[in-house]
Amino acid sequence: MKIAFLKPEPPASGAFVVGVLEDRKLTPAAAALDKKTGGVLTRAMATTRFKGKKDEFLDVVAPKGVPFGRIVLAGLGKLDKLDKASAEKSGGKLVAHLNAVGETLATVSVEQIPGAPINPSDMAAHVAFGAKLRTYRFDKYKTREKEDAKPTLKALNLLVTDVAGARKVHGPLDRVADAIMFARDLVSEPPNVLYPESLAERCKRLTAFGVKVEIFDEKQLEKMGAGALLGVAQGSTRPARMVVMQYNGAPKAKDKRPVAFVGKGVTFDTGGISLKPSAGMEDMKWDMAGSAAVVGTIEALAARHAKVNAIGAIGLVENMPSGAAQRPSDIVKSMSGKTIEVLNTDAEGRLVLADVLWYVQDRFKPKAMFDLATLTGAVIIALGHEYAGIMGNNDDLANKLVAAGNATGEKVWRLPLGEAYDRDIDSPAADVKNIAGNRAAGSIIGGQFLARFVNDVPWMHIDIAGTAWSAKDHAICPKGATAFGVRLLDRLVADNYEES
């Protein structure tokens, strides 16, 4: 779908979209159109339940005397709630509506609404951002599809007085949208196509944005002492990889230390010898969503030329059962030198992260470190699919994540870590065990395990098991891969770590 920003002028064809505030209060453009059409809009609203509430739409067949074929009244909701997030959701919902009714061309009037807390340029840019995100489809493997199932909308034009201003705001957002789309693609790919080697190769895409990409193979990982990560991978015919992405967007900063992002990349998780039930195992192709979010975040920062130094590091493995697979009760030696008793081979993501977290803090000495992982099913029990769980050693980082989550809609909720939880993972045979041995506080235990491999660096763990994939459509994301974390971390950097 092509998106363009144009000077205000009624369209010659397609659908003309105008806004209506709650309680049927017409925006200036809607009021002008109502007057021009002899009160058609007012009469149409009076004969329906349309009130102008947020995300309501009312289609009106355009009367004689106007060149376009359809008028769409778009509910904007309450005036004081008009902000960037609501604009994005409106854009996404609008695209879904226009596709549902079979429209091919739409023109949206974005104007100054007296009393609104957002200006037209920002609104237009964020409507376009949300619209683009909602167009995402993963259909590359479909060989045939019914015509009425295909999207129809080919072009979306946004009318705004300050075209240059809207384009300036939209430029970086569009680059972030591209990164989100790429991350969604990675999560959506089947595991016979996306595995450690092929995912590592796809990361090379980032070199086009000036990112340095290093790929470490099994021999190099063994030399590094990554015994925890390699232990997970040993049951698969697919060899492990670790990818490190370096983006230096602030080379002249006084504090050149990077912000670091670490991702779990289990490209398929059977559970290993601790085999998962067969029902629902197909979902485990997205057990690498944390790594996809990290790749997407680094691309977003580099593509929009963020003034920050950032590191992305992902550990890539496939967790499979075989004669060579890791066994419950095996003891492995991690890169940190600490030994781990593996009591459950399905608690594998924390083993991968243990080595990558250690590597990143040891090599790059980051000012802050964040990891993303579909780590525990327990976080879904605790928080459902609305919030990601966060844990860590720094209150300031937690507060920054919460603020970024509230601003983007990728919300997070902090869970505690503590000495009592830490005692639960003491092992009689090794330095630490990878599960507590009971089902209590499963998500917290995962975070507490990771804390054993973090030293003094400010660090937060983000458990995205409940938010990485959606079983239903959302305003700016159709059902499927969400790329949760890209918008969250991009906003976190923009608000807290970029050089002025």
Amino acid at 377: G
pLDDT, residue 65, reads 87
pLDDT, residue 486, reads 98
pLDDT, residue 262, reads 99
Active site residues: 276, 350
Claim: this prediction has a pTM higher than 0.95: yes
Query: Which sign does the torsion angle of CA 44, 49, 55, 57 carry?
Result: negative
CB neighbourhood size of 191 (10 A): 19
pLDDT, residue 337, reads 98
Which residue, 54, 43, 48, is CA-closest to 20? 54
pLDDT, residue 246, reads 98
Say which residues have a Cβ less than 8 Å from residue 296's Cβ, sequence separation at least 6.
Answer: 179, 180, 182, 183, 186, 483, 485, 486
CB 242 within 8 A of CB 218: no
pLDDT, residue 147, reads 84
Strands (E), 358-488: 368-373, 388-392, 412-414, 432-433, 459-463, 469-470, 480-481
pLDDT, residue 500, reads 81
Domains and CATH numbers, the chain: 2-159 (3.40.220.10), 175-496 (3.40.630.10)
Say which residues have a Cβ less than 8 Å from residue 136's Cβ, sequence separation at least 6.
Answer: 180, 181, 184, 477, 478, 480
Amino acid at 356: V
Tens digit of pLDDT at every position of the chain (500 positions): 999 999 999 899 999 999 999 999 999 999 999 999 999 999 999 999 999 999 899 999 988 889 999 999 999 999 999 999 999 999 999 999 999 999 999 999 999 999 999 999 999 999 999 999 999 999 999 999 888 889 999 999 999 999 999 999 999 999 999 999 999 999 999 999 999 999 999 999 999 999 999 999 999 999 999 999 999 999 999 999 999 999 999 999 999 999 999 999 999 999 999 999 999 999 999 999 999 999 999 999 999 999 999 999 999 999 999 999 999 999 999 999 999 999 999 999 999 999 999 999 999 999 999 999 999 999 999 999 999 999 999 999 999 999 999 999 999 999 999 999 999 999 999 999 999 988 899 999 999 999 999 999 999 999 999 999 999 999 999 999 999 999 999 999 999 999 98
211/248 Cα distance (integer angstroms): 8
Cross-strand pairs, 246? 212, 311
Question: Interior CA angle at 490 toward 484 and 494, to 5°?
Answer: 155
Cross-strand pairs, 4? 157
CB 459 within 8 A of CB 356: no
74/14 Cα distance (integer angstroms): 16
